Amino acid sequence: MKRRERWMPRRVLWRVHWRLWAWYLGMFLAFEVLLGSMTYEVMRYRLIQASYNQIQQEWSQKAPDALEQLEQLKDDHCSDCHSGAAVDRTPEPVATTIIAPSGQILQEDVVVLGTPGTIARAVAAMRQVPPSRTNPVHWAILTYGRQHLLAGRRDLYQAGQYEGALISVLSLTPVEQTSRELARTEMELAVASLLLLMPFSYLLSLTAMRPFREALEQQRHFVNDAAHELRTPLTILRGTLDLAQKDTDPETLQAAIAEALTETDYITRLVRDLGALARLESREPGLQMQAIALDRFVAELVRRLEPLAAAQGMTLEWHGEESRVAWIWGDPEQMRQLMTILIDNALKYNRVGGWVRVTVRTVDHEVVVEVRDSGMGISDDDQRRIFQRFYRGRNAEKARPGSGIGLALAAVIVRLHKGRMHVASVLDQGTTFTVTFPRYLFRRTTVKTPPATRYFLHICSCAPRHKVESRGGPWT
């Protein structure tokens, strides 16, 4: 049952991962199909447009000769007496037919390149189109079996009078072949893209799922570590209470009660720190941000902790700058907790007769806080891991009991205030924690004051009695 419960989150993650992979793959394929379709349509449009342009070029070349032949036929006054159409059976890229006003064919190209047989049906279809002065050009795409033809008709007008028409036919077989080759190439590229996108989308989905896996792993470690830390004091508490239950000696009972209270206090502090850490690591930590004079703030906190340091036989010192105030933008409650953690650790892992020195100074646009002590120091291996939850160095475990939550909580507070924290330590010589925050700069505001006002006396002599008036106005 426990094994099944342990695998449940992993199964959920794998389901989400495969769905995300399928979604990525589907999106990539949809984009590939859309891009291929757009490319196919654009290329086909350009090829057909080139065919239109080719027919129009043919018209611009043959229109003068056609008008000349039609004019000559008109001058002969016998348009119906024409001996017959001039038929050219040589395959032409564009087959053109000249039509007289009566509908008679004067000149005809019957074979077009790329099309077997003649184009008589296409020409006959275009001859059925009535001439139009407002729309002299007509187009049609005709299909006969596997033959695809582009046919165009241009009515010829001269001096507002209909003179005849040009009918041109061009084979779209090369266009269709090119379109099929393009479609085949697009399909091959789609298959190749599918083979390439499958591993790529799989890796992309793995990358997208990494934060969720890390969060789940951190949650699992958090729960395991919390259970491990709570297991020891609960075991001691249970053993103490069992011993007190069996023994009736008053001194033994008092000692058991004192031990139980100690373990209860430890559990209370641990649960409180865990709650604070979980709250700060949430998306809405609920910080009450305001401007803080950090040097004055820390000086007041040091003054309150001086009796605690003196009771342990240590000296707690404070050093700050008097020339300017070290302002930061932060939460006072979290700042108090951060400085309390650092100073408490410096006192806890120090020696009798040692000292702890707290310094706050401003450097350019930053405020730097240093907590330096003369304690036991931290090894290089422990310095890399002291900001992890529940981790305690070997020397710390031997010296004093603790939960290993404090520095992890301090690191989160510093990060939420956009700061940096660094530790430097030498074994048996001391440790220095350096915290850097962005300095808060007040914006200067200009207060607009009303202009100065002057008053003067005006003696009016226009009345029998002198009248005194008071007038006011801005200084000029």
Q: What is the pLDDT of residues 365-406, one digit of tens each?
A: 999 999 999 988 888 888 888 888 777 777 666 666 666 778
- pLDDT score at 468: 34
pLDDT of residue 446: 47
Task: Quote the CA–CA distance of 127 and 118 in Å, as a whole number.
Answer: 16
Q: Which residues pair with 60 in a beta bridge?
A: none
**Mean pLDDT to the nearest integer, 429-433:** 92
pLDDT at 58 over 70: yes
Contacts of 45 (CB under 8 A, 6+ apart): none
Q: How confident is the model at residue 443 (pLDDT cuts 50, 70, 90)?
A: low
Predicted confidence at residue 207, as pLDDT, reads 84
Q: Is this model's pTM higher than 0.85 or not? A: no
Using a 10 angstrom Cβ sphere, with 0-12 exposed, 13-18 middle and 19 or more buried, the burial of residue 466 is exposed
Q: What is the pLDDT of residue 398?
A: 65
Position 397 scores a pLDDT of: 63
126-130, 192-196, 301-305, 389-393: which has the minimum mean pLDDT?
Answer: 389-393
The tens digit of pLDDT for each residue in 247-283 reads 777 777 788 788 778 778 777 877 777 777 777 766 5
Both tokens of 389, joined, read: 């939850």
Q: What is the pLDDT of residues 101-110, one digit of tens each?
A: 888 888 888 8
Paired tokens of 105: 């064919």
Stretch 22-41: mean pLDDT: 88
> Of all residues in the chain, what percent carry a pLDDT higher than 90?
28
According to the model, what pLDDT value does residue 232 have?
66
Long-range contacts of 122-129 (CB under 8 A, 24+ apart): 122/149, 122/151, 122/169, 123/97, 123/151, 123/167, 123/169, 125/151, 126/151, 126/152, 126/153, 126/167, 126/169, 127/99, 127/103, 127/167, 129/153
Structure tokens at 186: 């697009």
Task: State yes or no: pLDDT of 225 exceeds 80.
Answer: no
DSSP of 369-383: EEEEE-S----HHHH
Which H or E run includes 192? helix 173-246
CA 311, 314, 315 angle in degrees (round to 5)?
115
Average pLDDT, the chain: 81
Q: Would you place residue 155 in the very low, low, confident or very high pLDDT band (cuts 50, 70, 90)?
A: very high
Note whether 298 and 360 are within 8 A (CB): yes
